[in-house]
Amino acid sequence: MNLSKILKNAFLIILASLVLTACATKKTSTTGQIQGDVYTGTDSVKYLASGVPDRVFFGTNETVLTTASRETLRKQAAWLRKNSDINVVLEGHADERGTREYNLALGERRANSAKDYLMTYGISSDRISVLSYGKERPVDSGSSPLAWSKNRRSVTVKAN
Amino acid sequence: MNRNFAISFGLHTLLVIITAMSLPFLAKKPIDLPPIISVELIQITEKTNIPFAPKAKKIIEKVKEKEKKLVSEQAPPKKIKKQKPNTVPLPDKKIEKIKKIKDEKQNPEKVETEIKQISEFEKKELFDTNSIAALIDKSKTESAETNKKLDKVTQDQDKEMDFGGLTLSEEDALKAQIFGCWSIPLGLPFNEDLLVRIKLQLKPDGSIIKTEILDHARMNKPGQAFYKVLAESALRAIKLCQPLRVPSKGYERWKDMQLNFDAREMLEG
Amino acid sequence: MLFRYLFILLVLLPIKAFALIEVDITRGNLNPLPVAVSPLSIDNKSKENFKKILKHDNLGSEISIIVENNLRQSGLFNPLNKEAFLQEPDIANLKPRFEDWNLIKAQALVTGKVTFIDEKLRVEFRLWDVLAGKEMMALAFTTVPSNWRRVGHIITDKVYERLTGEKGYFDTRIIYIAEEGPKTNRIKKLAIMDQDGFNNKFLTLGNELVLTPRFSPTNQMVTYLSYFRNLPRVYLLDIETGMQEVVGDFPGMTFAPRFSPDGKKIIMSFAKDGNSDIYTMDLENRIVERITNHPSIDTSPSYSPDGKGITFNSDRSGYQQIYVMESNGKNVKRISFGNGLYGTPVWSPRGDLIAFTKLHKGKFYIGVMRTDGSGERLLTENFYQEAPSWSPNGRVLIFYRETKTNSKGEGFSAKLWSIDLTGYNEKMVETETDASDPSWSSLLGN
């Protein structure tokens, strides 16, 4: 085992690892709109009123609210308090990577998470109904992690 | 942040050094070539003749040494008929002995197959372990039947007859023929007993005089409809293959034959 | 001692019979069985009558084509080319010249006759064992002319059963969701067709989203999920009359409906406050029973054929898995333990297996396992597929597959596929439109 051989191997290894790390960094740059598997972008977001986003997003198979989601829902609650005659329907959705019926249940659970949070901010349950579309109404028809993350959502819709 | 970077760099460098030092070792490791096995092409004739290669001779000598012990424990084949009275009353003991010997021989697998070859070649001289195996198997199936008296009789019949079976090549030829004729029904359940045994009576030219399905009662059993289908497919195979590829000589020994159609191997695979 | 031996010797010496040679046949060919399906013979007068009523030139020929296609689709038979047939249909039906049929290598032969009699369609057919040269089966039946396609399917069922030992699945229908439009806004309609794709009919108009239909055991009714008035609920539809009614009066979303094997109850999921549990409702007395009571999602229930057990999908372990329980909800046991997520469990009509969808490392699989969870076998893998449904003889699974969209969101399609339990004969089922959520009826004749 001579020195030149060791050096040659070392060089090859360094080169290989550089290539790998390069790939890794490339990956992260295109998914800047996803953080911790939850969509953080604003592409598909609509607004109930100025500064009040109409939807919150979830991680894969998740139904818990992120900090960002809670912030959005607080804004929605405030807006609902101000407009006490408006009722809403919370529509829960899932991405396509799951079986149809389970996704219906998952969507309902997500919408219900949002509803519960709104209720803790004083919105009466009479004003909120919950509905699930499972994977039937994606906003993004693509089959990529970004598209899927946009589809995992609970959307607040004016009912009247 | 910088600290993390420094630690990461240090660990990576360490990893690089370790790999660099170990790689040459991997490169130098010799590749294990599998030992070359010589294959001899054997012509299939009516009687299997294996060219008496020097290697085979050595093995035969070796086996003969081993067999000597065996032969001395039991009477040599030619004397069997006379010595029948000695061995008949102790059929069980004999089988146990034979089993033990057979087991010992089974460990070096290579030797087992060579014994088989040799037994074909030197049938008359050596004690035919094949026939012993056949004997054991027969006695096993026979014991399943309730008639114990018959056991002794058939065992003795077999002993006389171990030289009357089909040779390896005769059996292969017949099997190959029927393999080609048998359309295994595709719809069979693969977790059931898929064995159909058919007894045949043949003419000298290999055409069928009579067929008889053993387990005939099973054909109409409820829930076993697939058995009827399987049996019919076997019958079709036999009919399709007429005249069967039978040996040209020794009509007496194969005019009654039993074919055991077992679909399990094909369907389970 | 010596006497005994001598006696045996004397008795046995004369026996010079040869031992029975046994040859083990452990191989054969697994090719589909070559079958000749002769056009059914039909007299000129009957031909005229049927042409008038049904607008088909030669009903005898048409029916035999149905039989031929069915047998071919099953993957177990190879119907031979008619061009090679030597015997005329009418003669073949009475006394086939087996040498002729043997010549083209047919091992089985189907012949028959069609007559128009008393305004009805009368069919008689025979199945022959060409090699044995004898008749295996002969049947005759009468029906209304408009049922002529079913006649072909019924003949196939009988022939299939006689040649495989298993009941057939050809006189059946499939209910499914016909879909059209962009993925973000699919138009979905309830549709029904014969198992060979003919006689397709739409049962809803597409104004509201409809999903996951299932036949009743008598095949007269369908239960499904509808978003009528934006309220997702389980509905019942009468196929004959087209009448729809909502099942029960639930204060929340009900979905994933099935019939019980005796047809008396609907079993489904009911979602309330973020929790989905399994409930049943008796169709007669409207009594609702709660079957599962767990904070997890419980859905996709499926009864065992004897009605004593239920298999369902639950994420009570943290991820979607398959469970079985007694029909009253007791003794819940998990049966799926492999790597990945499991869903859509369906109990085979034979009671021996449960089919399912599995998702693992981004791929979807259709598989089967025994009812205790052992013997898991994956039959097919794809980018996206789910929701297997059993043929009534428990041999074939129908499911649906979706294709990926490209970067522009185009190219999306959904189609029905079927596969044999052995994993062979995987093929697409043709439908006019895109299709999903298929469900197989039981044999119509029952």
Mind giving me the DSSP string for A74-138?
Answer: HHHHHHHHHSTT--EEEEEE--SSS-HHHHHHHHHHHHHHHHHHHHHTT--GGGEEEEEEETSS-
ipTM of the complex: 0.91
Mean of the pLDDT values across residues C93-120?
Answer: 91
Question: Judged by CB atoms within 8 Å, which residues 427-446 of C form the interface with A?
Answer: 437
Pick from A17-31, B73-87, C208-222: least confident = B73-87
pLDDT tens figures, A34-67:
888 999 998 889 999 999 999 999 999 999 999 9
Measure the CA–CA gap between C224 and C216, rounded to whole angstroms.
Answer: 11
Which residues in chain B have their CB less than 8 angstroms from residue C25's CB?
A: 175, 178-179, 182, 234, 237, 259-262
**First-last CA distance in chain A:** 81
Q: What would you report as the CA-atom Rg of chain B, rounded to the nearest whole angstrom?
A: 28
Question: What average pLDDT does chain A have?
Answer: 88
What pLDDT score does C36 carry?
95
CA–CA distance, C412 with A19 (Å, rounded to integer): 35
Q: With left for phi above 0 and alpha for psi between -120 and 50, is residue A61 left, alpha or beta? A: left
CB pair distance less than 8 Å for C211 and A102:
no
Q: Do A100 and C341 touch (CB under 8 A)?
A: no
> What's the pLDDT score for residue B104?
43
Quote the pLDDT of residue B125: 38
What part of B 1-60 touches C (C-beta under 8 Å)? none
Between CA C232 and CA A101 the distance in angstroms is 12
Distance CA C409, CA C12 (A): 87
Question: CA–CA separation, C442 vs C446, rounded Å?
Answer: 8
- Across chain C, which distance is largest between two alpha carbons, in Å? 101
**Chain B residues within an 8 Å CB radius of C28:** 178-179, 181-184, 233, 237, 261, 263, 266
**Is residue C417's pLDDT more than 60?**
yes
pLDDT at B80: 34
Task: Provide mean pLDDT across the span C59-74.
Answer: 95
Asked if A108's CB is within 8 angstroms of C274's CB, the reply is yes
Spatial neighbors of B241 by CB under 8 A, at least 6 apart, are B177, B178, B180, B181
pLDDT of residue A57: 97
User: Dihedral of CA B242/B243/B246/B251: which sign?
Assistant: positive
In tens, the pLDDT along A74-102 reads 999 999 999 999 999 999 999 999 999 99
Could A132 and C269 be called an inter-chain contact, meaning their C-beta atoms sit closer than 8 Å?
no
Contact B16 A5 (CB under 8 A): no
Residues B154-167 have pLDDT tens digits of: 444 444 344 457 78
Do residues C32 and C126 touch, judged by C-beta distance below 8 A?
no
Neighbours of chain C (3+ CB pairs under 8 A): A, B
Give the pLDDT of residue B35: 54
**Residues C262-290: tens digit of each pLDDT:** 999 999 999 999 999 999 999 999 999 99
What is the pLDDT at residue B55?
56
Which residue among B157, B237, B260 sits closest to C15, beta carbon to beta carbon?
B157
Instruction: Identify the burial level of C384 via C-beta atoms within 10 angstroms of its C-beta, where 0-12 means exposed, 13-18 middle and 19 or more buried.
Output: middle
Whether B11 shows a pLDDT value over 70: the answer reads yes
pLDDT score of B119 more than 90: no
Mean pLDDT, rounded, for C346-355: 96
Taking an 8 Å cut-off on Cβ atoms, the answer to whether A1 and B25 are in contact is: yes
pLDDT at B50: 44
List, for residues B235-264, the tens digit of each pLDDT value: 999 998 888 888 888 888 888 999 999 988
B11 — contact with chain A (CB < 8 Å)? Answer: no
- Closest approach of chain A CAs to the CA of C149, in angstroms? 34
Stretch B13-21: mean pLDDT: 83
Per-residue model confidence as pLDDT tens digits over C14-45:
545 567 888 999 998 888 999 999 999 999 99
Closest approach of C220 to chain B, Cα-based (Å): 29
The pLDDT value recorded for residue B266 is 81
CA C365 to chain centre: 19
Residue of A30, A43, A99, A136 to mutate, testing the C interface (most C Cβ within 10 Å of its Cβ): A99
Asked whether the predicted pLDDT for residue B122 surpasses 50, the reply is: no
Q: Confidence class of residue A1 from pLDDT cuts 50, 70 and 90?
A: low
* Partner residue opposite A141 with nearest CB, options C315, C384, C405: C405
- Examine the pLDDT at B93 and tell me if it is beyond 80: no
Average model confidence (pLDDT) for chain C?
93
Contact C28/B188, CB-based, under 8 Å?
Answer: no
Which residues in chain C are contacts of A94 at CB distance < 8 A?
A: none
Tell me what the mean pLDDT of segment C39-53 comes to.
Answer: 94
- Rounded Cα gap, residues C355 and C440, in angstroms: 14
Given pLDDT bands bounded at 50, 70 and 90, which one contains residue C6? low
Report percent pLDDT > 70 for chain A.
89
For residues C161 and B56, the model is more confident at: C161
- Residue pLDDT, tens place only, C367-403: 999 999 999 999 999 999 999 999 999 999 999 999 8
CB-based contact C321:C274 (threshold 8 Å): no
Q: Does C132 touch chain B (CB under 8 A)?
A: yes
Chain A residues in contact with B23 (beta carbon < 8 A): 9
Q: Work out how many CB contacts closer than 8 A connect A with C.
A: 102
